[in-house]
Amino acid sequence: MRSIKLLTEPSAGVVDRWYVSDGATAVGPVGIELIARGLEAGKVPLGSYVRHEAWKVWRPLSELAVISVDSAAPTPPYHPRPAETIPGGGCDDITQPGRPVFPDEVMPQDVLAGASDLDDALLLLFNAAVVRTGADAGLVHVVRPDGAVVLYAHGPFSRDMVGERTSLVDPALAAAAEGNTVVAEPAPGPAGQAVRDRLLSLGVACDAAWMVPVLASGRLAAAIELGRKAPRLRASELAVVEALVDALSYRADHDAW
């Protein structure tokens, strides 16, 4: 049995409203004690991200939790479940046991729940895309006024890649600016090879690699590059990522990010 102590506790005058995301589903707003109970019950993965309603960024939940484990007691199995909205804008009790989440049951708009701006939404989208495709490596290039920069990375050398700049005339980003998705298999062209080379810089030689553009108000806002060692990308997996991107583009247009 494990005991969870969260370093952040409800305070007088502070609204106890939090969002938590496991990379596939965002849940909230909920109280911090409910999140702690979900952690203890094994229903909320420790690798999740958490954000208070007033925060501008998400933080790893592991940064807010101190865990003690009773080695003599068995650890309960983890059975993730999708978020379910109830009347009044809240969510169901995430400590209750449930069945596994299946691909068709996660709605793209649910993944982005709680995002406060475009960078926030890109992190949630990226986490979900990595989880849903089993990607071994990935990059999020966000377009700034002075060019494209790596905002988020996934892979052995991810820390080294964050902050790296990429020219907008790079073959993959040039394709993204035209709204084109790039799949670097079976034989990559210049754009596909550029994606593979960057993923290799993360420390992963990817047989399957692809890039999906993120458009906001008709202009390129970001590009998501993902890859894995094997097997090849399935059309259904690409469709999941594109559905997530479509949901983000819709939010970006309507929330004026």
pTM: 0.62
pLDDT at 105 over 70: no
Which pLDDT score, from 0 to 100, does residue 66 have? Answer: 61
d(CA 26, CA 39): 15
Extended strands (E) in the chain: 2-6, 18-21, 26-30, 49-52, 59-60, 65-69, 137-144, 147-154, 165-166, 182-183, 208-216, 219-228
> Which of these ranges, 44-53, 98-107, 196-205, has the smallest mean pLDDT?
98-107
Which contiguous run of DSSP H or E holds residue 108? helix 108-111
Vertex 15 angle, CA 11 and 20, to 5°? 100
Q: What percent of the chain has pLDDT over 90?
A: 35
pLDDT digits (tens, 9 = 90+) for 37-95: 888 777 888 778 887 777 766 777 777 766 555 544 444 433 333 333 222 333 333 33
Nearest Cα to Cα of residue 2 among 49, 41, 50:
41
Which pLDDT score, from 0 to 100, does residue 36 have? Answer: 81
Positive/negative CA dihedral, 141, 246, 53, 226? negative
Q: What percent of the chain has pLDDT over 70?
A: 75
Which pLDDT score, from 0 to 100, does residue 213 have? Answer: 97
pLDDT digits (tens, 9 = 90+) for 205-245: 999 999 999 998 889 999 999 999 988 888 888 988 999 99
Which pLDDT score, from 0 to 100, does residue 14 have? Answer: 63
Which contiguous run of DSSP H or E holds residue 255? helix 235-255
Residues 6+ positions from 63 with CB-CB distance below 8 Å: none
